[in-house]
Amino acid sequence: MTDQGDIPGKPTAASRTTLSHIMTSHDTNLLGTVHGGVIMKLVDDAAGAVAGRHSGGPAVTASMDEMVFLEPVRVGDLVHVKAQVNWTGRSSMEVGVKVLAERWNESTPAQQVGSAYLVFAAVDADGKPRPVPPVIPETDRDRRRYQEAQIRRTHRLARRRAIKELREARAAEGYED
């Protein structure tokens, strides 16, 4: 297997992308606003495109962190989903996503309506992890996002470890879940 150190890095801008979509009545929930699941799918689609571009091949969603809905999205809104790779590991990538919405028939600025962080794993033809190029942060904002992504990764790993230890302790005490 190739070592990540052998793969040339890619700048953040190389895979950054924006996906835009007009929301229709087919996208609504029972309240008449756009269903959160519709927004989540757009987020996953944009993040997946970025992960595939950065890694140079297939990448699958491993987790979604901190999906935040700030404002409702309405029928007729033009939604822009902006995504970029924030951080890379050996075979995984954190992709940051910002969701903006604007009225399709107005010239007012787009408003942020959501955000999320997703972790993708690059996979080969057999579905096994494969190395990804390191991301090269280009701006102060990119460097800040890289550092924040490292903190989120540390927290994800600590949370998984703590849950595993708790479950093992409960099993040792005879509890079955």
d(CA 39, CA 43): 6
pTM given for the model = 0.90
* Structural contact between residues 94 and 149, judged by C-beta atoms closer than 8 angstroms: yes
Residue 3 has pLDDT above 80, yes or no: no
The per-residue pLDDT for range 71-101, each reduced to its tens digit, is: 999 999 999 999 999 999 999 999 999 999 9
Residues 29-74 have pLDDT tens digits of 999 999 999 999 999 999 999 999 999 999 999 999 889 999 999 9
Q: Tell me: the pLDDT tens digits for 125-163?
A: 999 999 999 999 999 999 999 999 999 999 999 999 999
Of 84, 94, 66, the closest CA to residue 16 belongs to 84
Distance from C-alpha of 7 to C-alpha of 175, rounded to nearest angstrom: 47
pLDDT of residue 105: 87
What is the spatial distance between Cα 94 and Cα 72, in angstroms, rounded to a whole number?
Answer: 25
